[in-house]
Amino acid sequence: MKKIACRRCGTCCLKGGPVLHGPDLTLIGQKIIRPDQLVVIRAGEPAYNPGPDAVEPAACEMLKIQGKGSSWECLFYNSAARGCTIHDNRPLECRLLQCRDTTAILAITGQDCLTRQDLIKADDPVMAYIQAFEQCSWPKINTLLLLLSPESIQEAEQMLGIDLRLRQEALSRLHFSLAQEFFYFGRPLFQSWNHAAVKLTWDDNNIPRLKRC
């Protein structure tokens, strides 16, 4: 396959940082990429899939390089220089990506993805909270929303509240940063909400509410 020269347009970097795979564990070990520079995409979470070019539930847990601020622009992208600040040690997806031939990168999508368990020790206190988050997991919410009954929507709404309470409790006890929170627990459920038939709003007490459209 003929290699296509990169024109340094930055489009791929502006759309988001890469998902990390098994070979990228070396970059973590060498501290080229730190855990607090990653965000976990939990199984079932609405996420962009480059194959069908659509947002759909993530098939598995993935670790992705965080964006900048409220955007998905890769944390390691230097927009002024239009280049990667860790180019010589860039992750696997970045090495494989050719914008006009996505065959190689599509072949590894969802394969051998790094997870939090690859980076966090089993006896780390945060693991108890990671396990507790299973009670408000995306697969459970997605199953409830297939029903679209008042009861299922109410239960999904309760899970959004549990998600926020667990974060507050973990922050109070373990004193981590927002960047670490995104690595440990991913984005709050309300930030990832993407459902055409169920709208998310907030009441006067700043509690998330769900309503069928």
Query: Going residue by residue through the chain (213 aa), what tens digit of pLDDT does each one get?
Result: 455 667 778 788 888 899 999 999 999 999 999 999 999 999 999 887 776 777 889 999 999 999 998 888 999 999 888 899 999 999 999 999 887 788 888 899 889 999 999 999 999 999 999 999 999 999 999 999 999 999 999 999 999 999 999 999 999 999 999 999 999 999 999 998 988 899 999 999 999 999 998
Residues in the chain, total = 213
- Pairwise CA distance, residues 44 & 169, whole Å: 24
Predicted local distance difference test score (pLDDT) of residue 4 = 62
**How many angstroms separate the CA atoms of 15 and 57, rounded?**
18
Contact 116/146 with Cβ under 8 angstroms?
no
- Greatest alpha-carbon pair distance for the chain in Å reads 59
- 138 burial (CB, 10 Å; 0-12 / 13-18 / 19+) is buried
Query: What tokens does 74 get?
Result: 């890769």
Which one-letter amino acid corresponds to residue 130?
I
Identify the pLDDT of residue 35. Answer: 97
Which pLDDT score, from 0 to 100, does residue 93 have?
94
Residue 14 confidence (pLDDT): 87
Distance between alpha carbon 42 and the CA centroid of its chain, in Å?
6
